[in-house]
Chain A
Amino acid sequence: MRLKGSFMTAGFTILLAAVFVFPLLLMVIAPLRQPGLPPPRGLGEVIPLTPSLQSFRDAFSLVPLGRSILNSIFVTGIAVPITILTASWAGLALTLMRGRLRVVIVAALVLLATVPLTAVWIPRFVLFDKLGLIGTYVPLIAPALMGGSPLFVLFYAVAFHRIPHEVFEAAIMEGCGALRLWWRVALPLVKPTTAAIVLLSAVAFWSSFIDPLLYLRAEKDLTAPLMIHSLDLLGPTNWPVFLAASLVITLPIVVAFFAAQRLFQGKERGGSWLGR
């Protein structure tokens, strides 16, 4: 009976996974179609009879895709570590805080998380213009200085909150300074949270479209998502080129996700671990 149940669960999981894997699979197969041909009709025509890598060559020659990927790596590579620093600092500060102020700050964070990007679109542009930073990568990276997103700060605050307060108090009594408390005590206890935020913020910075569109100018500075939009204009016969670029740009995130799997599997220690 139990065996049957687990088979059912496995079958259901596989079915569910297949639904999500299918678009990914299509993205891998579709670029192999020769560009210039009319798009396939129905599933039967999706797998090309004569696979070609022409669409990848086209994607890299039509737009400066390679250069844009390097730019995206540069932005993400700087923004993600800063996000981790600021979000974990703010999260820890929030956890150690007591009383009304903490309630106010948490409420403010939740409120901030609901503000749509479009609402701050113009004020941000004016701000960065006054600072003379239009045309640089600073406006793209700047959100990282504020924890990337209010949500990331809240994630850290929740993770730190689950660590018994006595741990921090003991460390402080032992003469542990703020930075040391953060680096040696708090951060090692929330590794899965850090892994999650690394991934989430990497996806956010990597695929950010509006910020680079508004703040960057020269073609050599543009990031990868802008190139996809440019290729999208080529028309339906060149969708393999568009999908080839999409595949190349999605790949790093997928690889990062699989690489981080091991980190997710570690259990975060809950409130009762001290007693064990």
Chain B
Amino acid sequence: MVRTLISLSLLITIVCGVAGCGGGGQRTGSGDGNLIRLQAFGDPAELDAYKELIAAFEKENPDVRVEFIPVGKQKDHMAKLTTSFVGGQPPDLFLINFRRFGQFAEKDVLEPLGPRMAERGKLTESDLYEQTVEAFKYKDTLTCIPQNVSSLVIYYNRTLFQEAGVPLPTADWTWDDFLAAGKALTKDTNGDGKTDVYGLGFEPTLIRIAPFIWQNGGEIVDNLENPTRFMFDSWAAADALAFIRSWYSDHKIVPSLVENKSEDHESRFSRGGLAMIPHSRRFTATLRGVPNLDWDVAPLPQRRKKVTVLHSDAYCMAKDSTSKDAAYRFIEFALGTTGASIIARSGRTVPTVKTIANSPVFLDATQKPASANVFLDSITSIRRTPNIGSWNEIETRVDPLIEEWYFSDGLPKERLDRAVNAATVGLFKGVSP
């Protein structure tokens, strides 16, 4: 009797499993060569722009159908991508940051798109900003085709600058100007002994400190293509790091860790409690929705050199894709005049297609920021971090150490150097991209 009960439950389990009890959606096997799956992440408005792009593409290419796989956060995007690659069901196309594409390129699961681009000839490397094209080269072959290019710029609150009588940032302002502005803008407005407006909001992470090290003539790693160790111990890097740390330890122009965790920089800037914040193009979308905030953008300050850091995403194609031709046609369309304009209008990214970036579609005079050209002018002085397969992992391990050092009370920099080296043991494999 008991046996009957058990076998009955087993039987139902199996029958249900095979028949797919209540299975909703239908299977849409990619494999006929005309169905493309595209996975991208972004906020709802950005994802809407992709939907518009897909609709425009399908209208022009009625033989191809695009299935869009939208994901909210970048973290979830990565989880879904890695699982589907390992599980053998990767999307035909996906968008990914250059700091994260190396881990896929290294495992040889991406279709190199450079040769296809040369063969088709409709879209060429020279149509795009070379700084991003270079970032997506793996072993000298263009692997993914960049879709956007954003540099790090300074967003500033014009009202706070004017109230404090501080001159607005110029195209060639220096570290000294930057620090002087930060000091003059930091204020205790109600006289309770606590700072109410901070001059600067700064996330102490590798990607944010890198441009300051470069500006001082230093390097973050010994070799961009074949890194074997961090270079924080060089004089130039140490000097830049000391400058960055002085914002907190000496001048108190940035919020403390506690204040930072209780109200993030973006919120603080939006309500006028922060005068300057280094950020990429993405922050523009948030700020456009904030009423009564007078803001603009300026390039990063400079010292020995004028340098900023690259943020860029590209279209990558899975090697296992069975719709490679159709997928490439989609990339051509997305980076063509119609496609790139649709994405540019969402305002979230800076287009890699030079003609679109320099057109009114991007430099929209009716929309903030007034100095949108700062994003384009910065491209000439852009540098990037390595794109080796383990870079994402390296950043993940090093960022908390930098934060801890930045907010500590006098932890010597040698301790940071040692901790960074210890945390990245075995991650620099000496693999040359």
Chain A contact residues, CB within 8 Å of chain B: 35-39, 41, 62-63, 71, 74-75, 78, 82, 85-86, 89-90, 92-93, 96-97, 121-122, 125-126, 129, 131-138, 141-142, 145-146, 172, 177-179, 182, 210, 213-214, 216-219, 221-222, 226-238
Contact = CB atoms under 8 A, between A and B. Distances in A.
Contact of B25 (A146, A216, A235): A216
Nearest to A147: B9
B4 to A, nearest CB: 5
B5 A221 contact: no
A74 B29 CA distance: 23
B271 A38 contact: yes
Residue among A136, A138, A219, A229 facing the most chain B CB atoms (10 A cut-off): A138
A56 to B, nearest CB: 15
Q: Chain B's interface: helix, strand, loop or mixed, by majority?
A: mixed
Contact of A235 (B9, B71, B266): B266
Given A36-B290, A217-B37, A146 B44 contact: no
Contact of B9 (A90, A121, A217, A237): A90
16 contacts: A38-B272, A93-B2, A122-B86, A122-B87, A126-B87, A138-B23, A145-B17, A178-B2, A213-B76, A214-B84, A218-B67, A230-B44, A230-B47, A234-B286, A236-B286, A237-B286
B89 A129 contact: yes
Interface in B45-83: 45, 47, 67-73, 76, 79-80, 83
A41 B86 contact: no
B25 A137 contact: yes
Given A38-B290, A178-B1, A214 B24 contact: no
Contact of B24 (A89, A137, A237): A137
A106 to B, nearest CB: 15
A36 B289 contact: yes
Residue among A122, A226, A230, A238 facing the most chain B CB atoms (10 A cut-off): A230
Contacts of A237: 267, 270, 286, 289-290
A32 B47 CA distance: 26
A222 B72 CA distance: 11
A129 B5 contact: no
A219 B68 contact: yes
B271 A137 contact: no
A36 B21 CA distance: 44
Contacts of A131: 17
Interface in B140-191: none
A75 B290 CA distance: 38
Given A93-B5, A229-B76, A37 B291 contact: yes
B107 interface: no
B412 interface: no
The 4 A-B pairs at the shortest CB distance, nearest first, are namely A38-B271, A229-B72, A230-B72, A235-B286
A182 B25 contact: no
B12 to A, nearest CB: 8
Q: Chain A's interface: helix, strand, loop or mixed, by majority?
A: helix
Nearest to B283: A235
Contacts of B26: 135-136
Contacts of A129: 87-89
Interface in B3-30: 4-6, 8-9, 12-13, 16-17, 20-29
Given A36-B290, A172-B1, A217 B67 contact: yes
A122 B79 CA distance: 11
Contact of B264 (A133, A219, A236): A236
A179 B16 CA distance: 18
Nearest to B91: A217
A238 B286 CA distance: 8
B291 to A, nearest CB: 6
B404 interface: no
Contact of B22 (A90, A137, A213, A216): A137
Contacts of A217: 25, 28, 37, 67, 69
Contact of B70 (A89, A93, A121, A219): A219
A142 B72 contact: no
A76 B32 CA distance: 34
B317 to A, nearest CB: 17
B338 to A, nearest CB: 23
Contacts of A221: 24-25
A36 B290 CA distance: 5
Nearest to B70: A219
A125 B81 CA distance: 12
A145 B21 contact: yes
A38 B28 contact: no
A122 B86 CA distance: 7
Nearest to A39: B267
Nearest to B44: A62
Nearest to A229: B72
Contacts of A133: 20, 23, 27
A179 B4 CA distance: 10
Residue among A96, A125, A233 facing the most chain B CB atoms (10 A cut-off): A233
Given A230-B44, A237-B289, A92 B72 contact: no
B23 A125 contact: no
Nearest to A123: B87
Contacts of B127: none
